Amino acid sequence: IWLQWAVRQLCEADIMMISGERVNEYSYLPLEDETGGHKGRVKTLPKWPTHGKIEFRNYSLRHRLNLEYAIRTINLCIEPGQKIGIIGRTGAGKSSLFKGILRFVNRSCVDGEILIDDVDINHITLNHLRSHLSVIPQQPILFSGTLRYNLDPFHHYSDEQCWMALEDAQLKQFVSNHSAGLLMAIGESVKP
């Protein structure tokens, strides 16, 4: 029994050390360049985007300078309101498209341009760009807190608008039946 306890404690200590190392590594990461390498030409457009047209022009992306391109010279125009599916095998570059749109990749690793409503995304500040786009990831992430917080973490929308979003997702009745409603606890380990 003592041996099992000691082994378990060693494993837990190892896991905690790895977590601590990761936090330490993140603290030394360089800050993202808000301007995307276009100092002096970056802007915040108050009513951008208005339509939702997304255009890739001769766009290529690699994750680091020493790696092969994940996306090679694509030209694609997605019209406002158009629904498309992006399919492909693992490693084909599906997620890389979204990393490019959100500017998660260093500008030196990108060729070509992405335009949203005819504006080059490199001419938009990172904060403005990312706060105006939404991506639904392959693996959903729930933050510990309330359903309301997960729907609108920056408190930009009214409760009524949150209820409308739940109705669109066909979840309004489920949430309405819960005693806490929008304030129900949400998270990885929360039981319904």
Structure tokens that stand for 86 in this block: 């992006």
| Alpha carbon of residue 106 to chain centroid | 16
Low-confidence ranges of the chain (pLDDT < 50): none
CA distance readout (Å), 31 to 1, 20, 24, 41, 97:
48, 20, 15, 19, 22
User: Is the CB of residue 143 less than 8 Å from the CB of residue 185?
Assistant: no
User: Is the CB of residue 115 less than 8 Å from the CB of residue 54?
Assistant: yes
CA-CA distance, 187 to 147, in Å (whole number)?
A: 9
Give pLDDT, residue 21: 83
Residues 6+ apart with CB under 8 A from 119: 45, 48, 49
CB-side exposure of 128: number of CA atoms within 13 Å?
Answer: 19
Give pLDDT, residue 188: 65
Give pLDDT, residue 36: 57
Other C-beta atoms lying within 10 Å of the C-beta of residue 166: 19
Give pLDDT, residue 45: 80
> Which residues is 113 bridged to in the sheet?
57
User: Is the CB of residue 54 less than 8 Å from the CB of residue 116?
Assistant: yes
> Which residues is 64 bridged to in the sheet?
none
